[in-house]
Amino acid sequence: MALVAYPLTLRQFNCSLIKIMTNRTLQRSAKLAPLLLVTALLFHPLVSPLAALAFTLTQREHLTAEEVEFVRDAQELDRRMAVFIKAAERRLLAITDPATAAKQEQKEAEKWGAIAASTRAQLLSDIARILDEAITNIDDAGVHNAKSPLIPKSLQKLAEASNSFLPKLTALRSSAAESSERDSLEQAIEHVQTVIEAAGKLKPVSQK
Its sign, for the CA torsion 202, 10, 164, 67, is positive
The answer to whether residue 179 sits within a structural domain is: yes
- Domain assignment present for 55: no
67-102 pLDDT, tens digit each: 999 999 998 999 999 999 999 999 999 999 999 999
Count of structural domains within the chain: 1
Instruction: Say if 52 falls within a structural domain.
Output: no
The answer to whether 185 and 124 are in contact (CB under 8 A) is yes
Alpha carbon of 167 to those of 87, 140, 161, 164, 186: distances in Å?
18, 28, 11, 7, 13
Task: Determine, yes or no, domain membership for 155.
Answer: yes
18: in domain:
yes
- Three-state SS sequence of the chain: CEECCCCCCHHHHCCCHHHHHHHHHHHHHHHHHHHHHHHHHHHCCCCCHHHHHHHHHCCCCCCCHHHHHHHHHCCCHHHHHHHHHHHHHHHHHHHHCHHHHHHHHHHHHHHHCCCCCCCHHHHHHHHHHHHHHHHHHHHHHHHHCCCCCHHHHHHHHHHHHHHHHHHHHHCCHHHCCCHHHHHHHHHHHHHHHHHHHHHCCCCEECCC
pLDDT attached to residue 186: 97
Assigned domain for 113 exists: yes
Q: Give the relative orientation of helices 150-170 and 120-144 as an angle to the nearest 10 degrees.
A: 160
163 inside domain: yes
Q: What is the pLDDT of residues 4-16, one digit of tens each?
A: 344 455 555 554 3
Give the whole-angstrom CA distance, residue 166 versus residue 188: 9
Q: Report pLDDT digits (tens) over 21-59.
A: 445 544 554 444 444 444 444 555 555 555 444 444 456
What integer pLDDT is reported at residue 13 of this predicted model?
52
For residues 139 and 198, the answer to whether their CB atoms sit within 8 Å is no
pLDDT band at 154 (very low <50, low <70, confident <90, very high): very high
Give the per-residue pLDDT at 12.
54
User: Which range marks the domain in which residue 23 is found?
Assistant: 2-31+64-205
Residue 164 within a domain: yes
- Residue range 156-186, pLDDT digits in tens: 999 999 999 999 999 999 999 889 999 999 9
